[in-house]
Amino acid sequence: MGRRARMRREVGPRSGSSTLRKKCFILYLLAQGNPAGRTDACARRALPFGVAMESVVTRHPRSPEAFLPLSAPVLNILLAIGSDRMHPYRIMQEIDRRTGGKAVILPGTLYTSIARMLDQGLVEDAPDRPEPEDDDARRRYYRLTGLGRRVAAAEVERMAALIRVAKEQDLVPGEVS
């Protein structure tokens, strides 16, 4: 029997226990003074009933550079939302319109990326909704957070620096030095 199977049997199913593990891990780090200077969000710990587990705690780094480089879908989502509030289908349409159909984000990638971005604090549920006659009550609307804006700006700046290097090396199509 594998280690994960043993762990599940001794600790219980993963569903419902995640929050408890995160809280225990945070308390453990506080009590231990962050052992060995670990800065990553994963460390081994012993639970009171003697089972060693790994726990991952989601942290929200405040430095936008900590998120870089962004994946293409995440950057496209951030750029599509911009200063507006959008539901996922409209995000897909906006990405298609802006890229001329060159970037296609399928629903699975879109919803997974949005869930991860919500967890990281890059986007949030938009509290304001369109007028009821223009809206479907089942839709969820998202907007960028301040952190999401800073991360998008940092990624655009990073890419602009790459383009400057490419121009210096005569690697940009249609550009003649």
pTM above threshold 0.85: no
Domain encompassing residue 36: 3-56
DSSP 68: P
The tens-digit pLDDT sequence of the chain (177 residues) is 444 443 333 344 444 445 545 554 544 444 454 444 444 444 444 444 444 444 444 555 679 999 999 999 999 999 999 999 999 999 999 999 999 999 999 999 999 999 999 999 999 999 988 887 878 888 999 999 999 999 999 999 999 999 999 999 999 888 665
Residue 149, domain CATH: 1.10.10.10
Indicate whether 29 and 95 sit together in one domain. no
The answer to whether residues 82 and 72 touch, using CB atoms and an 8 Å cutoff, is no
